[in-house]
Chains A and B, each alone.
Chain A
């Protein structure tokens, strides 16, 4: 898998060009256009059935697109069977070969190469891979003797030992418990940086995608909704769906009262008007939604500031902040995240307390409601 010297390092490592995949009458993926950058950590994020796994399987060669092209390092690979593509996958349930030991599982890919590497070369590569996933000395174990986390490391070692152009990860943490998942996320990210291999992850877990990825592809109903860095998606979601899927947000539906390029005014329930940055062109009277992240909503004691009078319903302590559910007479219920320092300064709110909810100018985004 050597890099041709003529290969432009800025050229994408993989591309979807107008890719559509149908299974009978069901459209699993539609009109995918995407360039995957060399060396990046890219995640496909969406609920089940959104087409993210289909996209991954088209990269691996387990599915062929019904229309369009799939490119790998500038070469078309659609129509090329899986065993001839220089990509490797970490399967959701690891798919380790139960009749082989750990070392044989990891050596499997190298043994398929022609010409076949020598036994000593394979043994060295296997040891190196075990070391990379911090399982030194486990080569002689049987698969069923390993814990879930260890099995996942073996699956990872089995893939990276082949130095693939793309490492595909299909919900790799789904079977791990929460604490282990967090450790594994950090480890995966470190591994990706040190190996320099392009990672493509499929997940429905937004936290996972946000914490590990350089870029996230948000999918919905077989289509790509938005592609961007976790920060982009969080701060500038394209629509309500993205804002809802990436992080938490409060949504206030209403009708556009007036809009120019920089600001839109949304008339919401009870004659209230929320002004915010529009994420697309709106015309007057159109249905839209205002999105305000809970951490931008400040809660003040009555008389300490200007804002919406609300009543506190519940408060959930979440460590670095407390999540309060509050209720406004017209706007209904919404969330406010109050950081520890603010709480230390003004005291905690109890259910039933009167409070003032306020957010800074420009905190609200006006999004299309679809």
Chain B
């Protein structure tokens, strides 16, 4: 049994470790170690396509995580007060959003957006007073929207757990002491659920930054980092890809650890 578990872990993590190790390869091969070097990190960071893809990914991740956090937190705060039927429906939808495979979300979002654009663009062209009417198309907007919607579900789940764990009488105590509803939110509710919000933001950010499948469908002309990696693999794997992979992995792991630490600290405090 223990051996079996070990095998599973090896199977899961050895390839990842190999990627990280080969990022430090001295030679050009992605399968044979030829000395130690950090040159591939330098190459990756000086490649304008990589930098550009990195910037796109960062922008999309920041924007979608921010949107998801703001709206997800609002939803998490209001849902417990909704009528039971309505709440159950929303809960189900949120779980569905988390469980539906990325490829389905990707295709569905693509079809939906293209259809909407097909409707809206002619109308815009007809009513636009100037010469060149704006054309709605895939790109930053669609990436942010698709990632934001998926991440919203994650944020709602995380923040709701905090809201549920919060002592309801704290809100009453605050009101009793003369705080307006906004004052109560700012001084009591927000500090209480903040670890959940932050963890939600970080998870949303990591999700968007790493996502390939949804991004592949809705990116349009934009190239995110995972899309770049995928397309360059088709031209043969070099340790440059490994270096990019290792950097993304390190960044994601750091964020996840930070999120976990914040969540844990938050809960032990609330109990204490």
A interface residues, Cβ below 8 angstroms from B: 60-62, 81-84, 87-89, 91-93, 95-99, 108-109, 112-113, 142, 144, 158-159, 162
Asked whether, in the complex, the Cβ of A91 is within 8 Å of the Cβ of B169, the reply is yes
Asked whether, in the complex, the Cβ of A97 is within 8 Å of the Cβ of B176, the reply is no
Q: Could you give 9 example pairs across A and B, Cβ below 8 Å?
A: A81-B175, A82-B176, A83-B181, A83-B183, A88-B176, A93-B169, A108-B174, A142-B272, A144-B272
Q: Which residues of B contact A89 (CB under 8 A)?
A: 172-173, 176
CB-CB contacts below 8 Å: B166-185 with A = 167, 169-170, 172-181, 183-184
Asked whether, in the complex, the Cβ of A113 is within 8 Å of the Cβ of B178, the reply is yes
Asked whether, in the complex, the Cβ of A162 is within 8 Å of the Cβ of B177, the reply is yes
CB distance from A163 to the nearest CB of B (A): 12
Asked whether, in the complex, the Cβ of A95 is within 8 Å of the Cβ of B167, the reply is yes
B142 within 8 A of A: no
B138-173 to A contact mask, C-beta < 8 Å, 1/0: 000000000000000000000000000001011011
CB distance from B166 to the nearest CB of A (A): 10
Interface centre among A61, A62, A83, A96 (most CB of B within 10 A): A83
B133 within 8 A of A: no
**Is chain B's interface secondary structure helix, strand, loop, or mixed overall?**
helix
Asked whether, in the complex, the Cβ of B175 is within 8 Å of the Cβ of A162, the reply is no
Complex-state Cα separation, A196 to B246, whole angstroms: 70
Ranked nearest first, the 10 interchain pairs of A and B with the lowest CB-CB distance are: A144-B272, A109-B177, A112-B178, A95-B173, A95-B169, A82-B175, A83-B175, A99-B191, A112-B179, A89-B176
A-B contact count (CB 8 A): 70
Complex-state Cα separation, A109 to B191, whole angstroms: 17
Complex-state Cα separation, A93 to B168, whole angstroms: 11
Asked whether, in the complex, the Cβ of B173 is within 8 Å of the Cβ of A98, the reply is no
Complex-state Cα separation, A82 to B184, whole angstroms: 12
Asked whether, in the complex, the Cβ of A97 is within 8 Å of the Cβ of B178, the reply is no
Interface centre among B169, B176, B183, B269 (most CB of A within 10 A): B176
Given A97-B170, A99-B191, residue A112 in contact with residue B177 (CB < 8 A): yes
Q: Which residues of A contact B175 (CB under 8 A)?
A: 61-62, 81-83
Q: Which residues of A contact B187 (CB under 8 A)?
A: 108
Interface centre among A89, A112, A158 (most CB of B within 10 A): A112
Q: Which residue of A lies closest to B172 (CB)?
A: A62
Asked whether, in the complex, the Cβ of A97 is within 8 Å of the Cβ of B173, the reply is yes
Q: Which residue of A lies closest to B169 (CB)?
A: A95
Complex-state Cα separation, A82 to B172, whole angstroms: 8
Partner of A109, one of B172, B178, B184, B192: B178
Asked whether, in the complex, the Cβ of B183 is within 8 Å of the Cβ of A99, the reply is no
CB distance from B70 to the nearest CB of A (A): 21
Interface centre among B173, B175, B181, B191 (most CB of A within 10 A): B173
Q: Which residues of B contact A142 (CB under 8 A)?
A: 272
B270 within 8 A of A: yes
CB distance from A22 to the nearest CB of B (A): 18
Q: Which residues of B contact A112 (CB under 8 A)?
A: 177-180, 183
Asked whether, in the complex, the Cβ of B179 is within 8 Å of the Cβ of A108, the reply is yes
Q: Which residues of B contact A81 (CB under 8 A)?
A: 175
Q: Which residues of A contact B172 (CB under 8 A)?
A: 60, 62, 82, 89, 91, 95
B188 within 8 A of A: yes
Asked whether, in the complex, the Cβ of A83 is within 8 Å of the Cβ of B173, the reply is no
